[in-house]
């Protein structure tokens, strides 16, 4: 979950893209401001990382933890 103009989101997206490319895993970014429900749920904590539709973390990517969750 991300937001346009959010520097922390840009950093997280770059980290997730690199990690997922290394592991051959697909990923996508969703802008929370495009949906009132998502904005209400995640808006104060973006970026939020979801793995298999479950919240994995927020504000920054914990690389070792994310790699473990994706393998």
Segment 6-17 mean pLDDT: 97
Tell me the whole-structure pTM to 2 decimals: 0.90
Reported as a single tens digit per residue, the pLDDT across 29-61 is: 999 999 999 999 998 999 999 999 999 999 999
Instruction: Give residue limits of the domains in the chain.
Output: 7-70
Q: 7-70: which CATH number, 1.10.10.10, 3.40.50.970, 3.40.30.10, 3.40.50.1980?
A: 3.40.30.10
Segment 52-71 mean pLDDT: 96
Nearby residues of 46 by Cβ (< 8 Å), 6 or more positions away: 1, 2, 3, 6, 8, 9, 32, 58
Specify the pLDDT at position 26: 96
Print the SS3 string covering the chain.
CECCCCHHHHHHHHHHHHHHHHHCCCCCCCEHHHCHHHHHHHCCCCCEEEECCEEEEECCCCHHHHHHHHC
Specify the pLDDT at position 15: 98
């Amino acid at each position: 979950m991300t937001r346009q103009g959010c520097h922390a989101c840009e950093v997280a997206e770059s980290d997730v893209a690199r990690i997922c490319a290394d592991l051959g895993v697909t990923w996508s970014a969703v802008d929370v401001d495009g949906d009132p429900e998502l904005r209400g749920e995640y808006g104060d904590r973006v970026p939020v990382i979801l793995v298999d539709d479950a919240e994995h973390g927020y504000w920054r990517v914990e690389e070792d933890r994310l790699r473990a969750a994706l393998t």
